[in-house]
A and B are shown apart, each in its own frame.
Chain A
């Protein structure tokens, strides 16, 4: 067990923005929530799954809704505790710790604030180590763990707890509920034992996120060799540097879809096409996919190295395109069906960008 410092929280938030791959909600509000909770209730304690009793109950919490709404409708803070309590009461079991479902975007930080408020530790693990738009897109699903029973709560005290037989049904029911609850709500799902976390979770993802953030901060400060360090640590590759020459945004089938076209900064005849569905999913160059989901596709400002969210993209921006391998825990049977290009409606095969880099 260790305590999270204020500096670490800044790095964690920056890392979470990068791992959000353009989506996942802005971690800024989450960072404020964590800092306020620490000021009110004392330090945040981070534990590894091996430090907890095997049969202990671990619950999760996260913001669920539409990214555009979450930006404007600031959480009250009470809905996360309410959701946890409702699910704990339904299960008849109090949690020994909380855990983020996704380390990437705002949901990296919300569970820390809630854990501090509840006086329990936060587990250094998650189910994605990046951001994904749907509840079932976790390594837990690949391990056969159910998202239900789950709770959804709003800031006014409305809440529901429900069961679902598959994680895809859980996603559908949750979407139906949040439509009525204001599109920016607290969700608690994937209730699991510590043994489940040990078996199925992506371990050390909060530490990873903090380390990524710390290195990115050094890049932003202009520290020597900081880029190389970031690329080495994440095994990432810089696949393109270009200027935005076209943004085409469409909202279809409940997703914020879009296409961004970049023109190469040095060779104007080269273009890269980045396909977006809430997150940056696939990059094409010369009509060929060069980076595909579930690997991470991050757009960073060419000068400041700020990670650019999909809402922040604008014509004329100069960007670096960074490809980062997804957590190795993803590479299991069923990965392509769950989070491969075809899961998002792209009729192409997964491409390991590292093979092109060799």
Chain B
């Protein structure tokens, strides 16, 4: 299919001369320049270095007043060449062009054309009309696009509008070249660059096309691109299309920002209600239940609440962006209930008509673990720790469950694993430690005790080794396997740590204290 909507195409000088718009003209010299594209036409009686010449400009010179064999034609040629103009048309020259001028036109590869015309201005105007036709057409398309954007309030709407005007499908793709919105399109991932451009080989089959980054937040790296792959089309057509695509990309950026703002607003409302549920206590329970109903949240039957705590390079936006994906994964693993974004994770619950069994607990924690693992698997450095509360009924049950879930998540975070889920009932004796873990005084003791080690262990390697070693029941072999180093390395590091901290790891009391200290330190770090 030919990309007819982007035509008419820009004319080369040769094509323009063939139209007859410049009368019965004759190429005197500089034939090599005839394939230049004419961008515009400028008519003048005097062309020198002060004449504004732009790329592709065709200068129509009224040569009637020039002396025979005038140097002025040389100067005009030079000016056209220097300004990257497309050629020089001398109208009504009184004598044949001299050899100096002809040789110069050949040397510059700048076409010199002679023609006769009763009205120089009329000739130039006719040529200009032809030359500017593509620009006029493009302006009309741009105008349609701009008018249409008023009504295109969604990404899909904007893409549909741009596709209709360009006559080719436009799609929104992300860095892996997967299509996010719009029709399927096959584009090479290398074709997605940080700037807008057109190229003859954008498509995965080597088709020409245009690629335009979508800037959602200025300054952030581009993660989305607007892509239009053409069936055919030469450079000028791609350039014309790119301008339109550029405007569409702003609109798509605006659509995305609008969506994100709506998401953030909704998240904020949900979070506020969650805080009410957990018990800031400003609203009566009836009002809370009424608001929960407007969000479609149920608190009927037996409720199992969970709390997901993220750590690592994440922010509230990360949470926001990944909410939908997590929600879908949770549904897939059978956890179908409200999911509320917090700045550092999510809270949620599921309702069941009957009291869950112990087997249900295990299923829930395992499913949550699987879902969290698939969430953070590809996110470098991000850890997810979750806790699940005891099942209970009604709003007070939900409240208690959410609080338990948060406590369980804190304990889950004390371990060394990237993803950990704990049920409050599994914790048992560990809950004894919860008070300790939450104590600010103890935090200060920990920091002071570990100071000799942290000051010389800037990348945390020794501390990690110590923690793994202790978690592995002081087995150097298991710790070496977990850390991916040699057993001797672990032994050497543990020896060094014992020296640095002046502790005896063979003494059970000292070992217990040290493990507490290390876990507390880890919890602090995760919290920070």
Contact = CB atoms under 8 A, between A and B. Distances in A.
A287 B79 contact: yes
Interface of B: 46, 48, 67-69, 71-72, 74-79, 81, 98-100, 103-104, 106-108
Contacts of B106: 269
Closest 6 CB pairs of A and B: A287-B78, A287-B74, A273-B100, A261-B100, A246-B99, A271-B103
A101 B76 CA distance: 38
A124 interface: no
Given A248-B98, A273-B100, A284-B100, 10 more contacts: A259-B71, A259-B98, A261-B100, A261-B103, A263-B103, A271-B103, A271-B107, A287-B74, A288-B78, A347-B72
A246 B78 contact: no
Interface in A107-121: none
A67 B101 CA distance: 29
A40 interface: no
Contact of A248 (B69, B75, B77): B69
A259 B99 CA distance: 10
Contacts of B48: 347-348
Nearest to B106: A269
Given A275-B71, A282-B71, A286-B104, A261 B98 contact: yes
A90 interface: no
Contacts of A257: 67
Contacts of A252: 67
B104 A287 contact: yes
A245 interface: yes
Q: How large is the interface on A (under 10, 10 to 19, 20 to 34, 35 or more residues)?
A: 20 to 34
Contacts of A233: none
A346 interface: yes
- B46, B98, B104, B107: most-surrounded residue (chain A CB, <10 A): B104
A112 B79 CA distance: 48
B99 A245 contact: yes
B65 to A, nearest CB: 11
A27 B108 CA distance: 42
Contacts of A245: 99
Contacts of B76: 287
A199 interface: no
Contacts of A288: 75, 78
Given A246-B100, A287-B79, A273 B74 contact: yes
Contacts of B75: 284, 287-289, 348
A143 interface: no
A250 interface: yes
Interface in A302-358: 346-348
A71 B67 CA distance: 28
A306 B74 CA distance: 29
A346 B70 CA distance: 10
Interface string A250-280: 1010000101010100000111010100000
Interface in A226-254: 245-246, 248, 250, 252
Contacts of A347: 46, 48, 72
B99 A284 contact: no
13 contacts: A245-B99, A246-B99, A248-B69, A263-B103, A269-B106, A273-B74, A286-B78, A286-B108, A287-B74, A287-B79, A287-B104, A289-B75, A347-B48
A273 B71 CA distance: 8
B252 to A, nearest CB: 49
Nearest to B103: A271
Given A287-B79, A347-B46, A271 B72 contact: no
Contacts of B74: 273, 284, 287
Contacts of B78: 286-288
Contacts of B67: 252, 257
Nearest to A273: B100
A211 B108 CA distance: 42
Given A261-B98, A347-B48, A284 B103 contact: no
A346 B67 CA distance: 11
Contacts of B98: 246, 248, 259, 261
- B46, B68, B77: most-surrounded residue (chain A CB, <10 A): B68
A52 B78 CA distance: 53
B71 A271 contact: no
Contacts of A269: 103, 106-107
Contacts of B107: 269-271, 286
A250 B98 CA distance: 13
B24 to A, nearest CB: 26
A54 B120 CA distance: 63
Nearest to A345: B67
A142 to B, nearest CB: 27
B196 to A, nearest CB: 37
Contacts of B108: 286-287
A283 to B, nearest CB: 10
A297 to B, nearest CB: 14
A269 B106 CA distance: 9
B99 to A, nearest CB: 4
Contacts of A271: 99-100, 103-104, 107
B41 to A, nearest CB: 21
Contacts of B81: 287
A324 to B, nearest CB: 21
Contacts of A263: 103
A73 B256 CA distance: 94
A263 B103 CA distance: 10
A245 B98 CA distance: 11
A252 B107 CA distance: 30
Contacts of A250: 68
Interface in A62-94: none
B105 to A, nearest CB: 10
B438 to A, nearest CB: 81
A246 B106 CA distance: 17
A347 B77 CA distance: 15
Nearest to B49: A288
B99 A287 contact: no
B111 to A, nearest CB: 15
- B46, B75, B77, B108: most-surrounded residue (chain A CB, <10 A): B75
B359 to A, nearest CB: 92
A284 B69 contact: no
Given A284-B74, A287-B77, A347-B46, A259 B103 contact: no
B363 to A, nearest CB: 86
A275 B68 CA distance: 12
A102 to B, nearest CB: 26
A251 to B, nearest CB: 12
B84 to A, nearest CB: 15
Contacts of B99: 245-246, 261, 271
B83 to A, nearest CB: 12
